[in-house]
Amino acid sequence: MSGNRLEMQILHREGLARIGRFKTDHGFVDTPNIMPVINPNIRTLSMDIMKKLGTQAIITNSYIIRRNEDLKEIALSKGLHHLIGFDGTIMTDSGTFQSYVYGDVEYENRDTVEFQLKIKSDISTILDIFSTPMDSWEKANQAVDETHKRFMEIADLAGKNNISGPIQGSVYDDLRVKSAKLMSGTDSTYLPIGGVVPLLEQYRYSKLVDIIINSKLNSDFSKPIHLFGGGHPMFMGMAVLLGVDMFDSASYVKYARDDRLLYPDGTRNLKDITELPYWSPLRDRFSTQELRKAEENEKFSLLAEHNLFAIFQELSEIRERIRENTLWQYVESKSKSHPSLYSAFRRILRYSENLEPYFELYRKSPLFHFGEETNQSPYGVRLKKLQPSDTDYYTLSSGDWKPARLSKDFVKNVYEKTEGHFYINWFGLKVPLEMEEAYPVEQVIPWNEEKESGSKKPIPKDIKIRDFNLEKLRFLADFQFGENTGKKLFTDNCEIAVSRATGRIRTITREGKIIATMRAHDGFIGLTFAGGLIIHGMSEGIKNRVMVTEESATYNSQGKSVFFKFITNFDDRIIPLNDVLVVDPNDRLVAVGRSMVSGKELGMYREGTAVSINHHLE
């Protein structure tokens, strides 16, 4: 029996990509990560080497163990970890793939799961039905239903153990959605995406994008998503970008057996290589000539070591990119290394509207603009929502416009003396002038030469009829907190303090109280508690409310963070890293803070910080 039902704790994120951690009876596993496939009959690399390379978890096959009497006896008497010689997390597969390759296996679903529990597997797997890309919709649908039925057969075992519920559905998007929802609704704690190995082998990455996105967006985010067989470094970054947390693969062994070496962007044959890459663990020990002449078993082990290192190196790079908030750029630039990857990246852009709610209000990194594809990204989609809906606007060319702090004449003599809507050209997108300093508009170099467009250029009046800084604040408030909040929060009698050095807005005061600041790093509004009270008092348009238990509210009012397990209600339109209002069960405001995840995720996680408090009641 397993004592720890694993749950994901999120440490860093970028959109759907996340650095997380979960715990089993044999320690923590940091994600994204890979479980190298271990054949209990054959040891290609020693466990010492595998641990040194970074292995925290492995996957092995319970079917192979059960069929071998010697292995079975050791596993039952001394446990799976003793048999394998590994003290970390071990996941067991059920024999589903063997059933697909060789025909029906001789064991039933329930006794397959019971055997895995008896040998003390950390994560067990039901005997699901493997669907191939060639299966008809009807056959794949039957497999989805039967897989769910088989999980329900062992539901009594799942309540106290970590049992994975594979998401099937072949190449059919609607079936992947159905399967993801069905398996998320069970007591499974782990969700592998199955039936994708043939697609990976055929470089059908575009179809994999469909499968991963439809599976991820319809799954319970508190459960790790595992891509069965997805162990090539070439595709791992893209998979993580779409929400995959864990991989498993025997690729490090399979490629080594054929004298092939894994690289971050592809595969190379030993006979075609003159020099080993500088990062290879073999570089200082062997030349390529020596490797080619090595005894076969030794060469096999050495190439497997190189390949596993390449996988872990790529995972390390991916995790660092998530910390930097540059994974999207990394995947976008890397997609140009292979036509199949580029086609897959173009497929991702079709889902940008689906992905946009999960992307943060701002990022640590500036947005790197690579062309029209960047405008189709989730951040481009977010800006497109602000495009003019009629002809009553004027688009400024670079000759007309510079940032407001550098173009005081335009602000004073044109903007503040007209009522027209002004837009700036941002790489072909029309972006409201008031967004000039907000992420990602200012975090790139956006000023292009562009012909004037929209209605006739407005004619300024003789008197000032509006204030640019006030209009900017109102626009951003509507964008962040809901339509029509800007005028109610920032009234005409607000006092706006700006930096003498830069001209940027710093603080906004109303009736003697600071109600908001403008953050320099992202150009958005940060609420104070006084500002939160004003927004909280509005009757409509508020989209950033998080309700917590009475117990939690007491701590949150003192400045302590909100944890997921204490949230009772929330607005699912919340954008990650935007300011939210934290209220008690009676809807009394107790704190203002930043949501760490999107509103769509707030009700899924149970571990970790949901809202980081900035200002509080006490």
Q: 564-591 as b/e, with b when 16 or more CB fall inside 10 Å? A: bebbeebbeebbbbbbbbbbbeeeebbb
Nearest to 536 by CA among 474, 475, 599, 584: 584
Crossing angle for the helix pair 233-241 and 339-350, nearest 10 degrees?
Answer: 10
Backbone dihedral angles phi then psi of residue 607, each to the nearest 5 degrees: -115, 140
Residue with tokens 């891509």: 227
- The dihedral sign for the CA sequence 387, 324, 334, 173: negative
Nearest to 209 by CA among 343, 307, 370, 332: 343
The whole-angstrom separation of Cα 382 and Cα 226 is 29
Helix or strand holding residue 250 (H, E): none
Helix or strand holding residue 470 (H, E): helix 468-481
Contact 176, 215 (CB under 8 A): yes
The whole-angstrom separation of Cα 504 and Cα 518 is 8
- Does residue 339 have a cis bond before it (omega within 30 degrees)? no
The whole-angstrom separation of Cα 576 and Cα 270 is 46
The whole-angstrom separation of Cα 260 and Cα 252 is 9
In one-letter notation, the amino acid at residue 297 is N
Q: 338-350 as b/e, with b when 16 or more CB fall inside 10 Å? A: bebbbebbebbbe
Contact 153, 110 (CB under 8 A): yes
Question: Parallel, antiparallel, or unpaired: how do β-strands 9-14 and 505-510 relate?
Answer: unpaired
For residue 281, the tally of other CB atoms under 10 A from its CB is: 17
The whole-angstrom separation of Cα 541 and Cα 489 is 12
Answer yes or no: 93 catalytic. Answer: yes
The whole-angstrom separation of Cα 262 and Cα 221 is 31
Catalytic residue among 25, 48, 87, 93: 93
Note the residue count of the chain: 618
Nearest to 234 by CA among 210, 268, 270, 189: 268
The whole-angstrom separation of Cα 266 and Cα 315 is 15
Q: Which residues pair with 269 in a beta bridge?
A: 260
Contact 183, 148 (CB under 8 A): yes
| Cα three-residue angle 214-225-210, rounded to 5 degrees | 25
- Does residue 32 have a cis bond before it (omega within 30 degrees)? yes
- Written as six digits, the tokens of 351 are 């889902």
Residue with tokens 């000023």: 447
Question: Parallel, antiparallel, or unpaired: how do β-strands 495-498 and 505-510 relate?
Answer: antiparallel
Largest CA distance in the chain: 95
Helix (H, G, I), strand (E, B) or coil at 172: coil
- Catalytic residue list: 93
